[in-house]
Amino acid sequence: MTRQQLKYKRKSVVNRKNALIDATLSLIASKGIKGATVRAIAQHANVTQGLIRYYFNTKEQLITAAYRHHMGRLTQVTFAPLNSMPEEGPATRLATFVASGLVPPVVDPGSLSVWASFINKVQNDKTMRETHRETYFEFRDCLEMLIREALVEAGKPASEEGLRQLAIATNAVIDGLWLEGGALPDAFERGELAVIGVRSVSAIIGIDLPEGKSDK
């Protein structure tokens, strides 16, 4: 009584894990957390459901890994432009950083959906809460540094408390525009959010920032 089994190709561990994580994020992005069942994930990744447990002891582990992956990608995409222009002045660097978080693929309904789906787990799971906290402060500290340098350059240095508040405010502008762009993608012109973001940050810290981010 031999059972006929489908043919398959073996993949490396990281390939499989990434494929499963991608399938998970893709499903959460489109159908929410409820759409990310083990069976749906397996189907989306073109494997059978048993394989998931071979790579992840539990579904919770897969979900947690997917969250880290998503946040890591957001961070990476946002920081990349900054790292590729180490020789520019502080004002330009700050403007670039702000704008890079306000265009696709960071601003995106799916990206927002994934982030939102994890919020509750972040609040209840200690590990995820720590990941979230780190991501947030990584952003904010970077902003604070960029703002400090820009203010020094302009000859208007601020106090530590002042810097903290400016960083919180600037971060809020970015997060708020990111949120709105993801929640109502049709309500804004292309590139509009980035322009508004840079202009607002410019006003908040009291420094003229270069707006016309050359598309190259």
Partner DNA sequence: CAATTGATTATACAAGTGTATAAAAATTGG
Partner DNA sequence: CCAATTTTTATACACTTGTATAATCAATTG
Q: Which residues bind a second copy (CB under 8 A)?
A: 28, 31-34, 109, 112-113, 115-117, 119-124, 132-133, 136, 165, 168-169, 171-177, 179-180, 183-184, 187-188, 192, 195-197, 199-200, 203-204, 206
Q: Output the smallest distance, CB 168 to a second copy, in A.
A: 6
From DNA, a second copy, none, interface partner of 49 (C-beta below 5 to 8 A by class): DNA
| Ramachandran class of 48: left when φ > 0, alpha when ψ lies in -120 to 50, beta otherwise | beta
Residue 89 interacting partner from a second copy, DNA, none (CB closer than 5 to 8 Å by kind): none
By a kind-dependent CB cut-off of 5 to 8 A, residue 5 interacts, out of a second copy, DNA, none, with: DNA
14 is a contact residue toward DNA (CB under 7 A): no
Q: Is 95 in the site for DNA (CB under 7 A)?
A: no
User: Which is nearest to 142 in space by CA: 178, 179, 181, 170?
Assistant: 170
Region of 47-55, 66-74, 98-106, 136-144 interacting with DNA (CB under 7 A): 47-55
**Burial of 125 (C-beta count, 10 Å sphere; 0-12/13-18/19+):** middle
Angle at 54 between CA 53 and CA 55, to 5 degrees: 90
DSSP state at residue 101: T
Both tokens assigned to 63: 């979900």
- Which position among 14, 54, 161, 186 is part of the footprint of DNA (CB under 7 A)? 54
CB-CB neighbours of 25 under 10 Å = 22
User: CA–CA separation, 23 vs 5, rounded Å?
Assistant: 23
Pair of tokens at residue 137:
């402060």
| Residues lying near DNA in the complex (CB under 7 A) | 1-11, 13, 16, 36-40, 46-55, 58-60
